[in-house]
Every structure is written in structure tokens, then in C-alpha cells.
Amino acid sequence: MKKFLLVVSLALTMNFGLSAQEYKVITSVESIVPNGLGRSRIVNALEDKDYREYTSVQTEDDNTRNKSKRGKIRVKNFEETKLLNFFNIGGIRFQNIAANDAILSSMINDMVTNGWELAFVSSAVESDGGEGDGQGIFITRYIFKK
């Protein structure tokens, strides 16, 4: 009986170890455009894409260009959650940052409740490029796994 239980335990352990992992990327884009003129959102694709359909191999002998498939890459089914901009006419709005944090925390907690684990977070900033630019975003990618 002990051997049977050991074999069953090992089989179950091996089965769980072989299960594939799934990843999901959700992106937040927060505007750092002065005067509150930008748009800030959480974006979540609701459809899957196979990167191989949009990948080509380039070689030295390849003198022809593949026809662009950019239009097919676009995702038309996605969720867009509104966030507040970092700036308004008075300057930086700490209340807006706190509100965005609350919304992002809610989204992360919902993902965890649905079986996802927050695996990685990656952030980047494209800030004002100087006089006359007035553009900028703070982008964060939340990478979840199951």
C-alpha cells in the first residue's frame, strides 16, 4: 500500500510539473503631458495572436520584401480602463497618482483572484523632449502567469 501511494504521489507531482504555463501582458499608459491634455489608460487585449504569423526570416540573399501584415496584427477586441493624468493646469496631481494606484491595485487583485500570478513588471518613460515638445508617457507592462 505504501508503494502504491508513493507511485501515485510521484505521478501527480510529475503531472503538475509538466503543465504548460500561460502568460498575459496588461499595459498601463499614464500621460505626463502638461495641463492634463493627455490620455491615460489600462489596456488589455481580449484576443490572442500568434507571433509566428507576423514573423519573417531575413537573409542576405533575400532581395524581396514581404508584404506588410501590419493591419492584421492590430487587435480590435480589447478592454480600455480609464486612468487619470499625472498633470493638470496646476501641475502634478498626487491625488490622480493615488487614484491610479487604487485602480491598478484593483486590476492586479482581480487577476490574482482569477488564478494569475504577477510575474514581472517593466516600466519606461518617454518624457518631454524639450521646448515645444510637450509630449510624454509613463508605460508599465504587467506580466502575469498561470
pLDDT digits (tens, 9 = 90+) for 30-41: 988 777 678 899
Q: Model confidence over 10-68: pLDDT tens digits?
A: 666 655 555 689 999 999 999 887 776 788 999 999 999 999 998 988 887 655 455 55
Per-state percent for the chain, helix, strand, coil, to nearest 5: 35, 30, 35
**How is residue 126 written as a grid cell?**
518617454
How far CA 107 is from CA of 6, 37, 63, 77, 103, in Å, comes to 41, 25, 47, 18, 6
Instruction: Give backbone dihedrals phi and psi of 118, rounded to 5 degrees, phi first.
Output: -70, 110
* Alpha carbon distance 88, 84 (integer Å): 10
Q: Where are the domains of the chain?
A: 21-50+70-145
Q: Model confidence over 94-131: pLDDT tens digits?
A: 999 999 999 999 999 999 999 999 999 999 988 766 67
Q: 136 near 34, Cβ under 8 Å? A: no
